Structure 1
Amino acid sequence: MTVALLANPAARAGGGTGPAERAAERLRAHGMEVAIVSGGSAAESTKLLRAAIELDATAVVVAGGDGTLHLAMQEVAGTGIPLGIIPVGTGNDLAAVAGLRELDVETATDTIAAGVTKDIDLARVTRADGSTELFGTVLASGFDSRVNDRANAMRWPRGGSRYNIAILIEFLTLHGVPFSLDLELADGTREQLSGDLVMATVGNGRTYGGGIPICPDADPADGLLDVTLVRPAGRLHLLRLLPRVYRGTHTTVDEVSTRRVRSIRLDAAGVTAYADGDPIGALPLTIDVVPRALRLFTRDSP
């Protein structure tokens, strides 16, 4: 196996480089050829990774979080080239799909060396200008996208607690936003919804923000996307809802509704959506599923 190992360009002088080098050494010990790829920016890293794939890479490994994985999946989706994960990020939600979560270079590299893979779906975002981009975990719009924005701007703390603090701060200005939604449901029928929402979330995977199960029943290999909608209520009432969100039991609350869809169009003025933890575009956006687009090294059975 010839591996292109992408190290998070934002962590070259910090948490990403050390784990990448350790992972490379361990993969080489398993008899693999490994080249570390890390540009000075996301664009440069993309260019270098693309060149490595075109040259001879038969697998791609990412030492980083969901944002760096997001970059890599744009290049490997639909190619059959398997993607491995060394979880070094803040959230690591796609790593959880692969049976990984915390940084454990030995477990992560041994998972890759074992060669067990499974094919999972990706979600495709189409912007108003016709441009498209894929994501693997969750798209957030509304309250949770503002939480992402605040969490990304914070320098401390690291890890999932950053999102917890950002959630509490954003609660101080919590408000509903007028949304219009056009959904293609799992059975092929269409549904149109409009009204104020606190948030509209589209999940290919179950979790975001380092393990928050916002779409608790999502299956990234079922050919569908899960939608979680939250209607406005008093701040205190929604604050009491938070513990249920962390347990994944919020979908039975009156203010929360869910749908399982093939595609959805989201529209709301002044709302920027986040996917895989990074901004992906201003609404309106259309999101549809791309079945079995990504081959993932996994600790689980395929």
Structure 2
Amino acid sequence: MKTTFIVNPTAGNGTSLKRWEKFKEKLDFTYEVYMTSSPKHATALAKTSAQSGEHQLLIAFGGDGTAHEVIEGVLDFPNCIVGVIGAGSGNDFGRGFPSFHQAEEVNLYVRTLGETLDMDIGYVVTQKQSFTFVNNAGIGFDAYVAYQVNKSAVKKTLNKFGLGKLTYTFFVMKTLVTFKRFTLTVESPNQIQTFEKVWFATVSNQPFFGGGMKISPQSNPADGKIEITLVHHLSRIKLLLVFASVFLGKHTSFKGVHQLSSTTFKLTTNEFAYRHTDGEYANQTIPNVADEFTVQSKKWQITSLVIT
């Protein structure tokens, strides 16, 4: 089986490249490697490789964004298996999906032709464009925080000291003071509900986001469903308590936290609100125009062998 590594050398503020240089010395099989140089480059590389029709293992070496892009490139290509080695600052993907940690694990998988698992993919369809998400997508406070995190120099500074995971927490505190809440209508196949004073709504394919926050404890990326976690009517102090408890998945006990499970949700805001998919800025909602969040089953394959 052909094996290809797609490496994002800038992930983790450049630490990814240093880790790759050490990692590759322990590999004991023939492989190809490509370095990304721009956003969406990993998707293009993965798609080009997949289109050859050759049975192959494509390994994303980088952060959650690199994993997202590689998976996006192999959707509907049954000849491809995705492997992931987390080398970013958040690495939520590795908390919710099987992933490699050591070169020896990859060596064994290639040597034994390990098994695979079929995984779901999420979609967000808006009036102007569509997006995919592997981990989660959201509207509101968390999306605005993600937008600030990705464009700020603070993340790079904290990464230099190995404190990248604190970036999200820093911007949560910063945004808490100024964020304006909104009204959100949630439509699923069985009901329509309107929520006032909404902080955020996160639609999840797996449990984690924000560098280890267990936002959706019941989410399973292979069950054909997505879950929405909606937080509203809480004071700023109580919202802080929610964020403090979410790392353990205990936030669901708060009165202002609602969770629903379905195959599709239509979300409509009463004003412009920031949107994200897998932590990346995905433009803003349009007031009174619904965004549709859906899931499709068995759209890609991942390595199932994880050695501990």
Match of 1:116 in 2: 115
Match of 1:82 in 2: 81
What CA distance in whole angstroms lies between the structure 1 residues aligned with 2:186 and 2:108? 40
Match of 2:275 in 1: 273
Match of 2:142 in 1: 144
| Runs (5+) with no aligned partner, structure 2 | none
Q: Deviations over 1:163-220 (max 9, x none)?
A: 1112122222244212222223xxxx23343433111110001000121001111111
Match of 2:47 in 1: 50
What CA distance in whole angstroms lies between the structure 2 residues aligned with 1:267 and 1:9? 38
Tell me, yes or no, if the aligned pair for 2:12 and 2:88 is still in contact at 8 Å.
Answer: no
Shift of 1:105: 3.5
Q: Deviations over 1:99-143 (max 9, x none)?
A: 448xx43365357435232112111111212x3332111112111
Match of 1:40 in 2: 37
Cα separation, partners in 2 of 1:139 and 1:107, compared to 1, 3 Å: farther
Q: Does 1:171 align with 2:176?
A: yes
Q: Aligned partner of 1:199: which letter?
A: F
Q: Deviations over 1:146-172 (max 9, x none)?
A: 221222223231332111112122222
Cα separation, partners in 2 of 1:237 and 1:292, compared to 1, 3 Å: same
Q: Aligned partner of 1:18: which letter?
A: K
Q: Aligned partner of 1:297: which letter?
A: T
- The range that moved more, 91-100 or 16-25, is 16-25
Cα separation, partners in 2 of 1:144 and 1:53, compared to 1, 3 Å: same
Q: Deviations over 1:20-71 (max 9, x none)?
A: 34444444x0x3x311122421244433332222234612100011111111
What TM-score results when the alignment is normalised by the length of structure 1?
Answer: 0.87
Match of 1:71 in 2: 69
- The range that moved more, 244-253 or 33-42, is 33-42
Shift of 1:300: 5.3
**Percent identical:** 23
Q: Aligned partner of 1:54: which letter?
A: Q
Shift of 1:13: 8.7
What TM-score results when the alignment is normalised by the length of structure 2?
Answer: 0.85
Cα separation, partners in 2 of 1:240 and 1:42, compared to 1, 3 Å: closer
